[in-house]
């Protein structure tokens, strides 16, 4: 082993901006990967001294324990409001929010839409796993039709509970949004695409182009009551058809 473990053979390492704190996420969860990629991009772009991240309420509430940058913890759904003020008063910083689907698409819908509409020069990371993870698997606005959750135990009934909300498509209609894209993080190939998108988002932010919105469709093995492997299979077979991956808006123009 010692003959292999050399610097020149290294293909992946712990991001330099990761703290020593172990991730508290469930086995198979996508959050850790997304955290890592964001930190890699911040480091590679040399933004550590400019970066100010806003954490949500939800599974990523403790992101500030894992990311070695200045961070603020927001009330549920309000991260884009915090980011707005920080961006307006310190326009030279690199401000981003990291939010889940309950935080961004339910309780924080107004803050999301209006930050997008004002074209705040921030990056919004939206991790969509179709369920409330931290509180124990309740229905989210993004839960699929018929999908069971602890508050839709017989499956989401679209007649009474509404259908899955495609908020990334919604906000893409607003002029203030410069870039929107939907990515995944469960295989190395998807991670490479995601990293490119995250880098583009921060480049837009640094070039003061307006708001960049990166949705990442991930699994929630615990909330979905599946093994991590089955959850990833279910993700591809059920989530991707409803939430198709790819760019939605690039350089301020909707992708045809």
Partner 1 sequence: MQKEFKLMKGNEAVAEAAIRAGCDGYFGYPITPQSEIMEYLMLEQPEKRTGMVVLQAESEVAAINMVYGGAGCGKRVMTSSSSPGISLKQEGISYMAGAELPCLLVNIVRGGPGLGTIQPSQQDYFQSVKGGGHGDYRVIVLAPASVQEMADFAVLGFDLAFKYRIPTLILSDGIIGQMMEKVVLPEQRPRFTEEEIRKNTPWATVGKTPDRERNVISSLNLIACNQEAHVNDLKKKYDTIEENEVRYETYQCDDAEHVIIAYGSSARISRKAVDLLRAEGRKVGLLRPITLFPFPKKQISDLVAKKVKGFLTVEMSLGQMVEDVKLVVNGQTKVEHYGRVGGSIPTPEEVADAVKSIM
Least distance (Å) from partner 1 to the CB of residue 4?
Answer: 33
Specify the residue, 113 or 245, whose C-beta has the smaller distance to partner 1: 113
Query: 104 vs 24, 93, 115, CA distance in Å?
Result: 21, 22, 11
Q: Applying CB under 8 A, does 31 fall inside the site for partner 1?
A: no
74 scored as a contact of partner 1 (CB under 8 A): yes
* The only residue of 16, 21, 44, 85 in contact with partner 1, by rule CB under 8 A: 85
Q: Which of 33, 36, 84, 168 forms a contact with partner 1 (CB under 8 A)?
A: 84
Shortest distance, position 84 Cβ to partner 1, whole Å: 6
88 binds partner 1 (CB under 8 A): yes
| C-beta closer to partner 1: residue 170 or 245 | 170
Query: Which residues, 6 or more positions from 206, have their beta carbon under 8 angstroms from its beta carbon?
Result: 45, 47, 94
Task: Strands of 106-222 (E only): list them.
Answer: 123-128, 131-132, 138-139, 177-184, 211-217
Residue 105 vs 216, nearer CB to partner 1? 105
Sequence-separated contacts (24+) of 196-204 with Cβ below 8 Å: 197/247, 198/37, 198/38, 198/41, 198/123, 198/125, 199/41, 199/44, 199/45, 201/123, 202/41, 202/42, 202/45, 202/47, 202/94, 202/96, 202/123, 203/45, 204/123, 204/178, 204/179
Residue among 66, 70, 29, 65 nearest 49 (CA): 70
Q: Which of residues 108-167 bind partner 1 (CB under 8 A)?
A: 110-111, 113-114
Question: Smallest distance, Å, CB 229 to partner 1?
Answer: 30
CB of 22 to partner 1, least distance (A): 15
Show Cβ contacts of residue 256 under 8 Å, excluding neighbours closer than 6 positions.
none
Site string for partner 1, 33-72 (x = CB under 8 A): ---------------xxxxx-x------xx-x--xxxxxx
Question: Total residues at the site for partner 1 (CB under 8 A)?
Answer: 34
* Cα R_g (the chain), whole angstroms: 18
Name the one range near partner 1 by CB under 8 A: 86-94, 154-162, 202-210, 235-243.
86-94
| Binding region for partner 1 (CB under 8 A) | 19, 48-52, 54, 61-62, 64, 67-75, 78, 81-86, 88-90, 93, 110-111, 113-114
């Amino acid at each position: 082993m010692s003959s292999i473990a050399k610097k020149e053979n290294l293909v992946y390492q712990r991001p330099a901006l990761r703290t020593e704190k172990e991730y508290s996420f469930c086995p198979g969860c996508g959050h850790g990967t997304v955290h890592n990629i964001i930190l890699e991009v911040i480091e590679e772009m040399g933004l550590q001294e400019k970066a100010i991240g806003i954490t949500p309420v939800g599974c990523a509430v403790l992101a500030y324990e894992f990311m070695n940058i200045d961070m603020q913890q927001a009330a549920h759904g309000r991260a884009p409001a915090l980011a707005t003020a920080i961006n307006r008063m310190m326009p030279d910083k690199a401000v981003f929010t990291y939010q889940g689907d309950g935080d961004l698409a339910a309780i924080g819908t107004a803050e999301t839409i209006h930050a997008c509409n004002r074209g705040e020069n921030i990056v919004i990371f939206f991790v969509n796993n179709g369920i409330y993870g931290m509180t124990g698997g309740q229905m989210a606005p993004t839960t699929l039709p018929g999908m069971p959750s602890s508050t839709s135990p017989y499956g989401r009934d679209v007649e009474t509970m509404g259908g899955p909300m495609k908020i990334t498509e919604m906000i893409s209609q607003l002029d203030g949004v410069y870039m929107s894209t939907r990515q995944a993080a469960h295989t190395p190939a998807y991670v490479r695409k995601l990293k490119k998108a995250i880098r583009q988002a921060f480049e837009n932010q640094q070039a003061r182009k307006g708001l960049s919105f990166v949705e990442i469709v991930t699994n929630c093995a615990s909330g979905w009551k599946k093994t991590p492997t089955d959850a990833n299979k279910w993700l591809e077979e059920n989530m991707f058809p409803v939430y198709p991956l790819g760019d939605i808006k690039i350089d301020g123009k909707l992708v045809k």
